[in-house]
Amino acid sequence: DSGVTQTPKHLITATGQRVTLRCSPRSGDLSVYWYQQSLDQGLQFLIQYYNGEERAKGNILERFSAQQFPDLHSELNLSSLELGDSALYFCASSLGQLSTDTQYFGPGTRLTVL
Amino acid sequence: AQSVSQHNHHVILSEAASLELGCNYSYGGTVNLFWYVQYPGQHLQLLLKYFSGDPLVKGIKGFEAEFIKSKFSFNLRKPSVQWSDTAEYFCAVNARSGYSTLTFGKGTMLLVSP
């Protein structure tokens, strides 16, 4: 158990819908990262927040957005869902934002878009 | 931008065989290097990491990796694998002076037969 929790574990929805994935970081960690894992693209970084502020953006689609709340939990919102958005979405957290800070990963949310 | 190549997508070994998984990265500056492991049904866990100093780093569960700067490589090794090492292994990199976000390779699925 990494200490990072993600809900829900599984999500099945239809194309065009909107979903929200939730992540709670390890106690004391200020950074939260979102990654998408798919068969064709592998593990790709989406977005990072540090202490409530966006810090870095990766290959995140405009239909996707995220935020980090004052209690440091984070939510990833995916809208106008397409079949290709089906993937495993991981959240990770780290103490700070140094490149040497270890990232601890959650168990992931498996999203299936039908 | 960084990129990571893992040349072997699938590796099958018998117990007690030696393991070497290749990882090459592409980046012009100083990097931090990581190996993560994902056991079936579990979250990603850090196996080992290299920042600086001795290029041979030891991690958990008997794994080690060697950083060869001239070859832009960070290969993972284990002298004798066990059935419990069956998992997917990911090499990752980030820039020492940049963001903490990780760029991952596509992963290598290791199957160890008893």
| Secondary structure element (H or E) that encloses residue A22, with its range | strand A19-24
From chain A, the residues in CB contact with B109 under 8 A are: none
What tokens were used for B75?
Answer: 């290969």
Residue A4 DSSP SS3: coil
How many contacts (CB atoms, under 8 Å) link A and B? Answer: 62
pLDDT in tens, B10-54: 999 999 999 999 999 998 788 999 999 999 988 899 999 999 999
pLDDT of residue A40: 85
Q: Which residues contact A77 (CB under 8 A, 6 or more apart)?
A: A18, A19, A20, A21, A64, A65, A66
Please report which confidence band the pLDDT of residue A41 belongs to, taking 50, 70 and 90 as the band edges: confident
Cα–Cα distance measured from residue A94 to residue B33, given in angstroms and rounded to the nearest whole number: 16
Of the CA atoms within 13 Å of residue A50, those in its CB half-sphere come to 14
Residue in A2, A55, A56 nearest the CB of B43:
A2
pLDDT in tens, A55-106: 999 989 999 999 999 999 999 999 999 999 999 999 999 999 888 899 999 9
Residue A74 DSSP SS3: strand
Best A88, A99, A104, A105 residue to mutate vs chain B (most B CBs within 10 Å): A99
